[in-house]
């Protein structure tokens, strides 16, 4: 905990106040339970839970993972217990901890998203993250997120029913990230988070089959970091709402790159799979950077990139 109080690393994402800018990314942190053997969840800025759908989903056939250079491809396909079971079993557990609870929601239709927003706005959660970017499901989701009009349609539909802060999670699998970011902002998003995974593929040359049973999957990990940084930089220049950056963050130094590029908070994803205390290590690393460079607060580095 050394240095924890010396620097102000709290941030605000719309009305959501985070004690520090490090959030465990959706789909990599379960519902927090899986990590209590390894870390104190109270130390996290927030947790974005595994993507939820209205009804339970079994997910895709295995194999669901392939390792690729400096990254992984996954095709889990939103396996989750459904929003109702989440409310009953997971919210009470997560509320034992003093960390922001962000609920990631996904759907096949606009109506799914609208219903989920209605249900969750009445629950004891801190923010909604709209998943319009999962590449591993047949219907909906990334189909909405890949175009500005799709983002606009879903965001508007849920915003009507939400008093809680709305974060729209954007996909990199789109023509121009600034257009989808602007569409989210114009439709009422309080923040955007990016990037979700890049669609990819791995092939087993001995069996001549794709490694993933689903053929394609979402690429994450250090391999995507340069793409993520570029998109976070572009998006934060294009919109006034806060940008939450993610993509291959493994250390505090990686996170600092995202802050400099304009992110107000970061999400740590794939790193959790390798190092269960990755989020804590990232928080420590951010503090060390601030100390090393004599900065007083995280605001001293957010968007402070010297770019020409």
Site residues (CB under 8 A) for other proteins? 27-30, 34-35, 37-38, 50, 58-67, 69-72, 74, 76, 79, 221-222, 270, 272-277
H-type alpha helices, 209-261? 225-238, 252-261
Give whichever of 4 and 274 is closer to other proteins, judged by the CB atom. 274
- Quick check: bond before 195 cis, omega within 30? yes
Could you tell me the smallest distance in angstroms from the CB atom of residue 267 to other proteins? 14
The distance from CA 262 to its chain's CA centroid, rounded to whole angstroms, is 16
How many other C-beta atoms lie within 10 A of the C-beta of residue 223? 19
Q: Which residues contact 49 (CB under 8 A, 6 or more apart)?
A: 26, 29, 30, 31, 32, 86, 90, 94, 101, 102, 103, 104
Give whichever of 140 and 269 is closer to other proteins, judged by the CB atom. 269
What whole-number distance in Å separates Cα of residue 62 and Cα of residue 110?
28
What whole-number distance in Å separates Cα of residue 179 and Cα of residue 235?
9
The distance from CA 236 to its chain's CA centroid, rounded to whole angstroms, is 16
Q: How far is CA 225 from CA 166, 232, 249, in A?
A: 25, 10, 7
- For residue 199, which phi and psi values (nearest 5 degrees)? -65, 135
Give whichever of 255 and 280 is closer to other proteins, judged by the CB atom. 280
Could you tell me the smallest distance in angstroms from the CB atom of residue 212 to other proteins? 9
Could you tell me the smallest distance in angstroms from the CB atom of residue 84 to other proteins? 15
- Residues with a known catalytic role: 134
Could you tell me the smallest distance in angstroms from the CB atom of residue 273 to other proteins? 4
In order, the DSSP letters of 113-154 are: HHHHHHHHHTSS-SEEEEE---TT-SSSTHHHHTSHHHHHHH
Give whichever of 99 and 236 is closer to other proteins, judged by the CB atom. 99
3-class SS of residue 305? coil
Give whichever of 67 and 291 is closer to other proteins, judged by the CB atom. 67
Could you tell me the smallest distance in angstroms from the CB atom of residue 70 to other proteins? 4
């Amino acid at each position: 905990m050394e240095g924890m109080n010396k620097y102000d690393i709290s941030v605000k994402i719309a009305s959501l106040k985070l004690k520090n800018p490090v959030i465990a990314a959706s789909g990599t942190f379960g519902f927090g339970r899986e990590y209590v053997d390894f870390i104190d969840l109270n130390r996290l800025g927030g947790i974005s839970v595994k993507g939820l759908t209205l009804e339970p989903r079994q997910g895709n056939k295995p194999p669901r993972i392939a390792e690729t250079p400096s990254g992984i491809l996954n095709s889990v396909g939103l396996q989750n217990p459904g929003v109702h079971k989440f409310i009953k079993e997971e919210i009470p557990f997560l509320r034992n901890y003093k960390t922001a609870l962000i609920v990631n929601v996904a759907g096949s239709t606009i109506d799914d998203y609208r219903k989920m927003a209605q249900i969750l706005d009445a629950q004891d959660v801190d923010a909604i993250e709209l998943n319009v970017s999962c590449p591993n499901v047949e219907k909906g989701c990334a189909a909405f997120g890949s175009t500005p009009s799709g983002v606009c349609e879903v965001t508007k539909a849920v915003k009507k029913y939400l008093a809680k802060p709305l974060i729209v999670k954007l996909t990199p699998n789109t023509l121009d990230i600034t257009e989808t970011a602007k569409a989210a902002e114009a439709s009422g998003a309080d923040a955007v988070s990016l990037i979700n995974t890049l669609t990819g593929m791995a092939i087993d040359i001995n069996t001549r089959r794709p490694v993933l049973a689903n053929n394609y999957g979402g690429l994450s990990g250090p391999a995507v970091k340069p793409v993520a940084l570029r998109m976070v930089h572009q998006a934060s220049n294009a919109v006034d709402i806060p940008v939450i950056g993610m993509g291959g963050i493994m250390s505090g130094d990686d996170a600092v790159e995202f802050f400099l590029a304009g992110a107000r908070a970061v999400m740590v994803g794939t790193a959790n799979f390798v190092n269960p205390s990755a989020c804590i290590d990232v928080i420590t690393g951010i503090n060390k950077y601030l100390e090393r460079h004599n900065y007083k607060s995280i605001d001293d580095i957010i968007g402070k990139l010297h770019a020409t």
